[in-house]
Structure 1
Amino acid sequence: MAKQRSPPPSHLLLLLLIVLVTCPYPPHVRANCNFQGRSDDRGPNSKVKGMFVFGSSLVDNGNNNFLDNMAKANYSPYGIDFPLGPSGRFTNGRNVVDLLGEYLALPSLIPPFNDPSTKGLKVVHGVDFASGGSGILDDTGSIVGQVTSLSQQIRNFEESTLPELEAQVGCRSGELLPDNYVFLVGAGSNDYTYNYYLSANANLTLQSFTANLISSLSLQLQKLHGLGGRKFVLLAINPIGCSPSAKARVPTSIGCVQVLNRAVRLFNVELKSLVDDLNAKLPDSRFIVVNSYKIVRDIIKNPASKGFNDSTTPCCEVLSFAEGGNGVLCKTGGRACANRSSHVFFDGLHPTEAVNVQIATKAFLSARRTEVYPINVKRLAEA
């Protein structure tokens, strides 16, 4: 019998190219993304490995520090109770992102995308893309200067972070993202305060503007789904009409500024409907909404029952309208109240760490569908 000949070298090369194109990673790596040696000390039973964050100031971990705008919180008294001091977080201590990260047992704080050091191993457990003053719409926030819109945040994730993450962990997004990462999105309030209620939008009805917001957000969420995201936490808009800055703008208002609260309630109702629509349209995913409007509003209505005694005034000295400010941000180096855990608002808009603790705790553990719908973050993480 004649000896069987080996394939000519050209055939071997063709076969190798086919293997590389159709299976860029070895089978054992593709089936089990390599998180070993990635500062992950949470044990083998921890399903969620990280979190990607998109939105505005309530979830900004310091991205605006690197942008040319007026919406910054990288100075005292911001961060007065944060271990790292002023970091760009718009509160006295931890924000909702930090607290949910603790509940998810993530091994480190989520770093801001704009920090040049956020690369390599630092992206493995998530990245924060949020930008204070930004919105769902691309033109929101220009009044405060350079901000990163939600659509640009998603592009930053797709074009920069995702390829680096795939290289670090050793597998493609389709295998990497669905089980291992939570996508948190908190945006929309600035689209009303820094967009709709400007004179340029006076010809739009509130309903049509809100419908446009929800439609835009739906497309952006579907974009993240197309990139591999499957576990989504959406934050409702807080009752911004009850903030000290809103009430300072309308001093004749009795209680909260209802025109603002009506707008965000409309958005929040549509956001819940969007969650139902996306869960039906994308059955391989889970979308939930945290009703932070109700959580914060319940505190404001009866602060003593929740451990607070001041739900109307900011804890820090705020740069007023008369002083050239917008009634929102703390004065640089200004005073902060001593009893910060009893205040609802740290500055003219943003809640204290104590309020953020209540939002994050209910988001993670609450069984009330009026607070988190349709399931809580703990069940989402375990799914």
Structure 2
Amino acid sequence: MGKLIYLDNAATTKTAPEVVEAMLPYFTEHFGNPSSVYSVGSSNKEVITKQRETIAKALGAKTDEIYFTAGGSESDNWALKATAEAYESKGKHIITTKIEHHAILHTGEYLEKRGYEVTYLDVDENGIVSPEAVEAAIRPDTILISVMFANNEIGTIEPIKEIGEIAHKHGILFHTDAVQAFGQVPINVDEMNIDMLSSSGHKLNGPKGIGFLYIRKGVKIRSFVHGGAQERKRRAGTENVPGIVGFGKAVELAVASMDDRIRKETELRDYAIARIEKEIPYCRLNGDRTRRLPNNINFSFRFVEGESLLIMLDMKGICASSGSACTSGSLDPSHVLLAIGLPHEIAHGSLRMTLSAETTKEEIDYTIDNLKEIVAHLRSMSPLYEDFMKKQK
């Protein structure tokens, strides 16, 4: 095909030209510190408020419920650590799942070392956590439930509204890591009973290094970064004005194009899944078949090692991944795939492809044509596959 085929949009996305254009003046002309009293700085405070309004509207939230951060991982850390500190007099128990992003899991481990208890719930074979299991795990000392909106590896969308209802029925705060979902699928924080929500700009064609934490008005949560009075005294530090402007523009574009993108990406996703299942034997679709992000395709191929698969795809100009970009280079199989019941040897042969609005059917066909050849080639060198095939005869 002679060009780069980028199928790793869950890891990061290309910054949209309109976003870059919107950001540029805030590096050179409108470079002032928003906390300054003179106009070249103070005018940027109004610009920040405008972006806050854009993001809040996309969530059905209030403008002053949006707090800018450096990204999704910071937002996740803030939600868990600051809630734990603020509500420790009520209890020290937190509920989450085994398939969360490591920004949640590792923060849970951090809190456990400091005397908190964290329950990590199982999921079913499609990666869905049962609302009944969430409710059964609640204790008198439970202060927070944190369940991701959609899984970053297998794309499964969780029953967020139902879990939020359960949390509120028991007077417990509910946080969701929506880094993969915000801007990709509709979210309304009131309708879905969400108290806190994390997001990151670079997952929806915005810049890196910017994110936000939605905090429902009335939620008692402590400051996370101490210093100045920025972000209404909850997150100190001079605001990343170009990043905030870029994030706001990216959200504006995402909202305007969402319906068309969902339709197009779902169609291409299902086409790719159908071709792979029909043309490549001994493969398994990971994640729920219908309750999944429109752009997510995740397969495990038996008798294939995932890293070799990725290297050979890269040689054909195809960018994909085996799971979360945050665990790239790890020799351990994906914790998500293990949690849905895959044995180690099958989990190691996984491939995640995540589409964008720019992905074409021609690119999908080229990718799957090459994928078939690469899987066949790798299996031809596998003694396990050879033994397996002998037993089938």
TM-score computed with the length of structure 1 as normaliser? 0.24
Higher strand content, 1 or 2: 2
Kindly name which structure, 1 or 2, has the bigger radius of gyration based on alpha carbons. 1
Q: TM-score, normalised by structure 2?
A: 0.24
| Greater RCO, CA 8 A, separation 6+ | 2
